[in-house]
Amino acid sequence: MQLRRADVLRGARDLLDAEGLDGLTMRKLGAVLNVQAGALYWHFPGKQALLGAIADDLLAGVAEPPPAGPWDQRLVTLAHKLRQALLGVRDGARLVAETFVTEPNTALAGRIGMRILMDAGLPAEQAAWTMFAVGHYVLGHTIEEQATRPGSGRDAELAAQAAGDADLRELAAAISADPGRRFEFGLGLVLDGIRVRVGPRTPADS
């Protein structure tokens, strides 16, 4: 029963879910796959390459365009798919952040967004820069979302610090709030900003 590249990838994702990014080691991965750590180097040139492959894998689903519709709705769908992809595995956002635009599927996802914005009337350069902004927001949000996950104790730390300060209490409350709703809020903010540049939707738009 030989090991294939895909098996290593799946094992790595399982281990990542179980142990987090800091707990993902070549030796443990070897153990999970019933193989010596050194054997992994036949399938991947090194740990970084393996991590890059996981990141790329994670974003595979984002590389296809959302269904037809108004540009803003399509962009929202894309942003949601991106967040969901990052949430697909523990510490997924941190993982992708360390490989970012390098991996093919990240670039492809950006390209999809560009097309949506160019169809909406934005020139290519503005469309590209806008997608970077959207991507940075999604990445930043999801890194924090995964870092502050319940049980990490980070929310409690802030709560303690906030004891005497009403504003800090509000910030602490925001962290404890449903991250999906907070994501939505920030995404709405960014989209409003994009609308200012694209101009109002006309009846001609589908």
> Which residues are at the interface with DNA (CB under 7 A)?
2-3, 24-28, 30, 34-39, 41-43, 45-48
Distances (CA, A) of 35 to 12, 51, 76: 13, 19, 43
Measured CA to CA, the distance from residue 74 to residue 67 in angstroms comes to 7
Measured CA to CA, the distance from residue 4 to residue 123 in angstroms comes to 44
Least CB distance to DNA at residue 105 (A) = 22
Pick one of DNA, a copy of itself, none as the site partner of residue 79 (Cβ within 5 to 8 A by kind): none
Least CB distance to a copy of itself at residue 36 (A) = 24
Measured CA to CA, the distance from residue 137 to residue 186 in angstroms comes to 8
Cβ pair 195, 72 in contact under 8 A: yes
Pick one of a copy of itself, DNA, none as the site partner of residue 138 (Cβ within 5 to 8 A by kind): a copy of itself
Tell me 148's DSSP state. Answer: T
| Closest to a copy of itself by CB, 42 or 147 | 147
Handedness of CA 186, 191, 192, 196 (dihedral sign): positive
In the complex, the residues that contact a copy of itself under the rule CB under 8 A are 94, 97-98, 100-102, 104, 107, 110-111, 114-115, 124-125, 127-133, 135-141, 143-144, 147-148, 154, 157-158, 161-162, 165-168, 170-171, 173-175, 177, 182, 185-186, 188-194, 196-197
Cβ pair 183, 145 in contact under 8 A: yes
| Closest to a copy of itself by CB, 42 or 174 | 174
| Closest to a copy of itself by CB, 61 or 186 | 186
Pick one of a copy of itself, DNA, none as the site partner of residue 105 (Cβ within 5 to 8 A by kind): none
| Closest to DNA by CB, 30 or 113 | 30
| Closest to DNA by CB, 30 or 66 | 30
Pick one of DNA, a copy of itself, none as the site partner of residue 104 (Cβ within 5 to 8 A by kind): a copy of itself
- CA-closest candidate to residue 97, choices 40, 144, 60, 64: 144
Where residue 153 falls (left for φ over 0; alpha for ψ -120 to 50; beta otherwise) is left
Least CB distance to DNA at residue 49 (A) = 8
H/E segment holding residue 94: helix 92-97
